[in-house]
Amino acid sequence: MTIGFIGLGIMGRPMARNLMKAGHALVVYDVVAEAVNELVAAGAAPADSPASLAAKVKTIITMLPNGPEVVEVITGKIGILDGAAKGTVIIDMSSIAPLVSKEMHCRCAEKGVKFIDAPVSGGEPKAVDGTLAIMVGCDEAEFGPVVPLLKTMGTSVVRTGEVGSGNVTKLANQIVVALNIAAISEAYVLATKAGVDPQLVFDAIKGGLAGSTVMNAKSPMILDRNFKPGFKLKLHIKDLANAIETGHQVGVPLPLTSAVMEMMQALSVDGFAENDHSVLVQYFEKLAKCEILRSAKR
């Protein structure tokens, strides 16, 4: 199958590579020429616009930073809908506000194009490994045909409801991830300030009730002070902003989410927006005037 892929960033690039490894031919587009060139060198064909890409394929995957970019790529000048034939399927794997997904679904339906929202969780490591968790919002009849394609990029592919539900699920996921990172950061700062090696704390509690995938993924980064982005802080801020906005729209207060959002905003102001979201630990370190380090003395 020939697939169109738009958005070759930290996540999109390895996802596109996994599609190629599975035997799919790719037509790719990104505003960053270097990203396109890298995939072309691996065997993909380039497109000079979303419209020209859409004219060449019947299935298109988008992996973009936020809602405005999704709207522009799909409905803007030389956007997907300018080139897509009736029956084309757009699978938007971006993490965006659910209402934007619903709006795109309606705009696409007017042109006879199907729209599915399928955001992902797992960050760059799982994008590389092809083990992402994929949350799908679509009509039930549309789900089965896209599952084999999505399983080339993820091990968990779950339909959560109609269009928009995928991104509601992703917002719930991002709340849980953010609060987990905040909790382990606060705990490790407490341990450090109290004179207990945070590495030993991690070793002791990771197999108990406090253990989690987030803890296992982010603790080594925190303890090694490795904040190279697998998922950038600024993108998590975007997701929490979408969560808070959606909460307001449906009448759900999100006090814990709002608190962590302000912690992340403070770090962004301090210049950490491009770091991995595990850099959240530095907010707690600053409050306690201490720095977490894996002990080299024990």
Residue 211 near residue 205 (C-beta atoms within 8 A):
yes
Number of folded domains in the chain?
Answer: 2
Domain end, chosen from 142, 162, 182, is at 162
Regarding whether 153 and 229 lie in a shared domain, the answer is no
Residue 119 contacts by C-beta under 8 Å, 6 or more apart in sequence? Answer: 93, 94, 95, 96, 134, 135, 166, 167, 169, 170
Structural domain span for residue 57 = 2-162
Q: Kindly report the CATH number assigned to the domain that includes residue 96.
A: 3.40.50.720
Regarding whether 174 and 100 lie in a shared domain, the answer is no
Which residue numbers are catalytic? 170
Regarding whether 16 and 155 lie in a shared domain, the answer is yes
Regarding whether 238 and 178 lie in a shared domain, the answer is yes
Q: Tens digit of pLDDT per residue, the chain (298 long)? A: 899 999 999 999 999 999 999 999 999 999 999 999 999 999 999 999 999 999 999 999 999 999 999 999 999 999 999 999 999 999 999 999 999 999 999 999 999 999 999 999 998 999 999 999 999 999 999 999 999 999 999 999 999 999 999 999 999 999 999 999 999 999 999 999 999 999 999 999 999 999 999 999 999 999 999 999 989 999 999 999 999 999 999 999 999 999 999 999 999 999 999 999 999 999 999 999 999 977 644 3
d(CA 200, CA 187): 12
Regarding whether 14 and 155 lie in a shared domain, the answer is yes
Regarding whether 12 and 149 lie in a shared domain, the answer is yes
Regarding whether 149 and 194 lie in a shared domain, the answer is no
Let me know if residue 273 belongs to a domain.
yes
Regarding whether 26 and 123 lie in a shared domain, the answer is yes
Q: Is 2 left (phi over 0), alpha (psi -120 to 50) or beta?
A: beta
